[in-house]
Amino acid sequence: MTWINRFTALGPAFSAQVLPTPVPQPSWVCRNFQLSHSLGLPPDWLENPEGLAVFSGNGLWEGMQAQASVYSGHQFGHWAGQLGDGRALCLGEYEGPQGAVEIQLKGAGKTPFSRMGDGRAVLRSSIREFLCSEAMAGLGIPTTRALCITSSPKPVLREELETASIVTRTAPSFIRFGHFEHFANEPAPSGPAHLRQLADFVIQHYFKDENFSTSNPYAGLLAHVTSRTAKLIAQWQSVGFCHGVMNTDNMSILGLTLDYGPFQFLDGFNPQHICNHSDHQGRYAYGRQAQVAYWNLFCLGQALMPLIDDQDLAVKALETYKKVFSENWSQCFLGKLGLQVQEDEAAALEDQTLLNDGLEMLAKEQVDFSIFWRKLSHAASKTEASSLEWQAVADMFIDQSAWVGWRDRYLSRLQSKPSEAAVKKMLSINPKYVLRNHLAEAAIQKSKLGDHSEVETLFKLLQSPFDEQMHFDHYANLPPDWAAQIEISCSS
């Protein structure tokens, strides 16, 4: 096995070497053999007792160098100072045939950055993180991945007594905006030196295939992160994903979805929807995510300022956000309608108005976001508004005159029947299955009783969210009434 551990090699200013804390009687909850295969990891990792020991924090393979990294960050708009991997532990960076990948345990015990926390994760939060990582991957949205979940009867105290569980995550890197903020806030001479070391490391290893202005690579880095983040948020919006805790320490420098906590896929479309029970101000509401990401990028820009050393260049890099976000947002959302961004300005504006009016109509009645788009995808192939498919969409609205008005505009925009290919494309953009809160909750409740079959079912289902998978139709239904009562807060 080849362990290259390049982040650890940056030195003790960046991470603390710390061993995972063992748990009693570990067992597998779910294993992602497909991911293991696609990353080219040794197949026996997920098969044998040695693997179970490693992925539950009870052992290491030779060559691994477990470490927790230090970072800082802005939480809910305020500088929070030093944070760091309080319950995440990177076991090492593995160089496989498909490239290098970091293997990280979440919930493997205390680290020097645990502060008041216990370093643990519970079964509930590990299942949510595992399933959502893989659901996002299934949707084609950049994300950290999840290799497996292990659990132990070890009690862990949250609002009530729960049990310990560990999710193993993989990513090329888990470096966050907060890593840069950390060193930018460290005094000279070490702070600036470490900041440069980190930026050079990130550029060299993770942006080596990107175009960089050689005169100012740090402005180039900021521009690339800005662009990746803008694209990511546009994709989140288009599937109704609400992250819930977009603190700068939860923002990936690679533009990956990172740290799944109180996330939610919207049920009814409500731009003001807040999925994090602790977010009293609605800072991270669904409809605020684009602005918040921009705010977070400003924090990153500020941290990189000593390296960029040119305010105009930094502002220019950040300003690409608005263009990239709105272009990607339009592309994603028009795609949901089966349309493409038009070159002609007047025609493009007309499409944009149609789209915005449609979203406003959905918001007014809080129509189910995923079901609406999926039903519309099926209807779009029929020209007859009286067809069953169009009737199924109509049935989602109380205000029928608003619906009919919008529908007729849309139908006339489609003019003739859209091609089979266009409809197929809509069905590959508008997912049938998303990880709604109540689906995850049902799987969690079963798992708590020792039956992990529902986790497995959801995992398989969500890997192909655009496929009909008829036997699972009921997983694409409206949420039950009790779903509205599910409350999820920051750390669980």
What residues act catalytically?
249
SS3 463: helix
Closest contact distance (angstroms) between CB of 259 and ligand AMP is: 5
Closest contact distance (angstroms) between CB of 249 and Mg ion is: 5
What gap in Å lies between CA 480 and CA 368, rounded to an integer? 12
Q: 16, exposed or middle or buried, with CB in 10 Å at 0-12, 13-18, 19+?
A: middle
Q: Does 262 bind ligand AMP (CB under 6 A)?
A: no
Q: Tell me which stretch binds Mg ion (CB under 5 A): 1-9, 110-118, 244-252, 364-372.
A: 244-252
Element spanning 91, H or E:
strand 88-96
Q: Does 75 bind Mg ion (CB under 5 A)?
A: no
Q: Looking at 245, 361, 434, 435, which residue binds ligand AMP (CB under 6 A)?
A: 245
Closest contact distance (angstroms) between CB of 134 and Mg ion is: 19
Residue with smaller CB distance to Mg ion, 5 or 125 = 125
Q: What's the token pair of residue 399?
A: 């205000």
- Phi first, then psi, for residue 8 (nearest 5°) are -60, -35
Residue with smaller CB distance to ligand AMP, 270 or 489 = 489
Determine contact, residues 154/446, Cβ cutoff 8 Å.
no
Select the binding partner of residue 87 from ligand AMP, Mg ion, none (C-beta < 5 to 8 A, by kind).
Answer: ligand AMP
What secondary structure letter does DSSP report for 21?
Answer: P
How far, CA to CA in Å, does 226 sit from each of 2, 198, 280, 304, 333?
Answer: 33, 18, 28, 13, 20
Closest contact distance (angstroms) between CB of 86 and ligand AMP is: 2
Residues 355-374 touching ligand AMP, rule: CB under 6 A, are none
How far, CA to CA in Å, does 292 sit from each of 78, 243, 285, 373?
Answer: 13, 11, 10, 26
Q: Tell me which stretch binds ligand AMP (CB under 6 A): 78-86, 164-172, 297-305, 351-359.
A: 78-86
Select the binding partner of residue 279 from Mg ion, ligand AMP, none (C-beta < 5 to 8 A, by kind).
Answer: none
Q: Looking at 181, 259, 279, 351, which residue binds Mg ion (CB under 5 A)?
A: 259
Axis crossing angle, helix 453-463 with helix 123-139, rounded to the nearest 10: 20
How far, CA to CA in Å, does 277 sit from each of 35, 127, 257?
Answer: 32, 19, 20
Neighbouring-strand partners of residue 65 = none
Q: Looking at 114, 185, 320, 463, which residue binds ligand AMP (CB under 6 A)?
A: 114
Residue 332: name the closest of 233, 253, 403, 263 by CA: 233
Q: Looking at 51, 57, 92, 119, which residue binds ligand AMP (CB under 6 A)?
A: 119
Q: Does 275 bind ligand AMP (CB under 6 A)?
A: no
Q: Does 74 bind ligand AMP (CB under 6 A)?
A: no
Residue with smaller CB distance to ligand AMP, 36 or 125 = 125
Closest contact distance (angstroms) between CB of 369 and ligand AMP is: 25
Determine contact, residues 135/436, Cβ cutoff 8 Å.
no
- Phi first, then psi, for residue 280 (nearest 5°) are -65, -30
Q: Does 250 bind ligand AMP (CB under 6 A)?
A: yes
Select the binding partner of residue 441 from Mg ion, ligand AMP, none (C-beta < 5 to 8 A, by kind).
Answer: none
Q: Does 81 bind ligand AMP (CB under 6 A)?
A: no
Q: What's the token pair of residue 20?
A: 């995972």
Q: What's the token pair of residue 489?
A: 């807060």
Q: Tell me which stretch binds Mg ion (CB under 5 A): 40-48, 247-255, 272-280, 292-300.
A: 247-255
Q: Looking at 142, 261, 268, 418, which residue binds ligand AMP (CB under 6 A)?
A: 261
Q: Does 117 bind ligand AMP (CB under 6 A)?
A: yes
Q: Tell me which stretch binds ligand AMP (CB under 6 A): 113-121, 365-373, 428-436, 437-445.
A: 113-121
What gap in Å lies between CA 417 and CA 426, rounded to an integer? 14
Residue with smaller CB distance to ligand AMP, 245 or 443 = 245
Q: Does 83 bind ligand AMP (CB under 6 A)?
A: yes
Q: What's the token pair of residue 295?
A: 């705010």
Q: Where are the alpha helices (DSSP H) in 87-172?
A: 123-139
Closest contact distance (angstroms) between CB of 165 and Mg ion is: 17
Question: Sign (positive/negative) of CA torsion 278, 280, 284, 286?
Answer: positive
How far, CA to CA in Å, does 403 sit from each of 94, 225, 400, 431, 477?
Answer: 54, 40, 5, 22, 21
Q: Does 250 bind Mg ion (CB under 5 A)?
A: yes
Q: Where do contacts with Mg ion occur on this chain (CB under 5 A)? A: 250, 259
Q: Where do contacts with ligand AMP occur on this chain (CB under 6 A)? A: 83-87, 114, 117-120, 245, 250, 259, 261, 490-491
